[in-house]
Copies of this chain bind each other. A is one copy, B any other.
Amino acid sequence: MEFSSKLLERAVNEMSQLPGIGKRTALRLVLHLLRQPKEQTTALSQALQNMRSTIKFCEFCHNISDFNLCEICANPNRNETIICVVEDVKDVMAIENTSSFKGLYHVLGGKISPMDGIGPHDLNIETLVKKVKQGVVKELIFALSSTMEGDTTNFYIYKQIQDYNVITSTIARGISVGDELEYADEITLGRSIVNRIPFETSLKL
């Protein structure tokens, strides 16, 4: 791609560093900014800069926060004996949106993935094991993606804490609400039969 301006070229190059944004999309976005008032570009740049330079991670659960302790960990009404282990900040937001969980979270910051060069020591696993060792936590809920990397991470953490007095569970795997049975994959369908729940229980959900 030949650019008529070095400034434009640099902006497009930086924009296309973002995941899923190619050169063409980057050019479209940058040209859009050029058509908008200058203030919009200033606001975007400053918001990104401010966020990147001053955002904090919660000391307790590693969730993104403006303070040393995130709102969830600082809330005295949350149940500190149950910890939901998630991969990412996005997962905290997704679970919070369901309003079905009143415990605390622990954000690992990724999954063990040797292919991507991510080992257990690149994740926030040590602090989780430390929390379990302190004895306040009664249950750990593994809420990672149901992939090989997710299962590996679950198992690694399980091995570290199995000698301590803590219940471990994983979120239920099964047919999504609204899904047609015939399109479900075999493993999901098989597991959903093995892990069937009493009909009376399902009525209460």
Contacts and interface: CB of A to CB of B under 8 A. Distances in A.
Contact of A7 (B5, B50, B96): B50
Nearest to A72: B4
The SS class assigned to the A binding surface is: helix
Q: Classify chain A's interface size.
A: 35 or more
A161 interface: no
B51 A8 contact: yes
A170 interface: no
Interface string A17-52: 111110001011111111000101111111111111
A55 B4 contact: no
A166 interface: no
A31 B97 contact: no
A137 B4 CA distance: 23
A53 interface: yes
Contacts of A50: 7, 10-11
Nearest to A32: B19
A28 B18 CA distance: 9
A65 interface: yes
Contact of A4 (B5, B40, B54, B70): B70
Interface string A83-116: 0000011101100110000000000000000000
B93 A3 contact: yes
A125 interface: no
B17 A44 contact: yes
B7 A51 contact: yes
A52 B34 contact: yes
Given A3-B93, A13-B47, 6 more contacts: A4-B72, A7-B51, A8-B51, A38-B52, A41-B49, A42-B52
9 contacts: A1-B93, A3-B93, A4-B93, A11-B50, A14-B47, A30-B51, A31-B89, A34-B52, A45-B48
